[in-house]
Structure 1
Amino acid sequence: MRQRIGAGLLALAAIFGATSSGAGEVSVVKVEATRAPDGTWRFDVTLHHADEGWDHYANLWRIETPDGKILGERILAHPHVNEQPFTRSLSGVRIPDTLDQVIVRARDSVHGYGLRVVYALPE
């Protein structure tokens, strides 16, 4: 049975990204999740980062349980200097039925992981 802590989208990303990120850190600005017929999830995650090239760019985002277990990762293989913000997807993410929210985090090659963003899964 799924425990309901919140309903709908709890995308605190825009607030955290706009107010809490230090200079040069990557921000998660939008998260959308869709459940597939097989029970797995597809995540479309939009990031913003002042990519400067190969020495400083957003290089990964991931989905975690509230206690830190990694459920899926999307490696970003190149800088997105002229494409900001940008959205990338990850399909086939298995989420335990007991969860009603996940954490989305992004990383850049200089500062590491930015703030955790809580996302409430749609019903």
Structure 2
Amino acid sequence: MRFLLILSMFTSSVFASKFDIDAYSTSLEYAQVTNVLATQKLSGSWCFGTSVRHNDQGWEHYADGWEVIDLEGNQLGQRQLAHPHDNEQPFTRSQCDIKIPTEISKVIVRAKCNKHGFGGKPFIVDLKPI
């Protein structure tokens, strides 16, 4: 019986079907994506210009990255942020050469901070291929 319970817990997490886009905080204690500009290059890869807002408080608490994920929650690309942006809010940073499978027409961009991780409002991007 205990084996079935463990197996049930394992399979339910493995087969989770979608990323929960409605579970987020709007507090600036969490990094918030405020805008995204996605452009496809002739090579087929994508560039994401992502604007982030966060209550950066120096090295102890700052927005330290953002990622592009599919609607299932699989990471497709990311950008690490190397330092706090205390006096530059919101700020925009880009990442190119992100490969998105052609069958994907929407992605989610979400930001994180070094204290709370992910948890701010994600941003849904409709991809318009060239």
Give the 4+ runs in structure 1 shifted more than 6 A. none
Shift in Å, 1:23: 4.3
Instruction: Provide TM-score, normalisation by structure 2.
Output: 0.77
Q: 2:28–2:53: 8 Å Cα contact kept in structure 1?
A: no
3-state SS of the aligned residue for 2:29? coil
> Which structure: greater helix fraction?
2
Tell me what 1:119 maps to: 125
Instruction: Provide TM-score, normalisation by structure 1.
Output: 0.81
Structure 1 gap segments, 5+ residues each: 1-15
Q: 2:32–2:122: 8 Å Cα contact kept in structure 1?
A: no
Q: Percent identity?
A: 42
CA RMSD between the two structures: 1.7
CA distance in 2, matches of 1:67, 1:33: 19
CA distance in 2, matches of 1:48, 1:115: 11
CA distance in 1, matches of 2:128, 2:35: 14
3-state SS of the aligned residue for 1:21? coil
User: Aligned partner of 1:122: which letter?
Assistant: K
Structure 2 gap segments, 5+ residues each: 1-21
User: Aligned partner of 1:64: which letter?
Assistant: I
Tell me what 1:67 maps to: 72
3-state SS of the aligned residue for 2:59? coil
- Is 1:102 the equivalent of 2:114? no
Which structure: larger Rg? 2
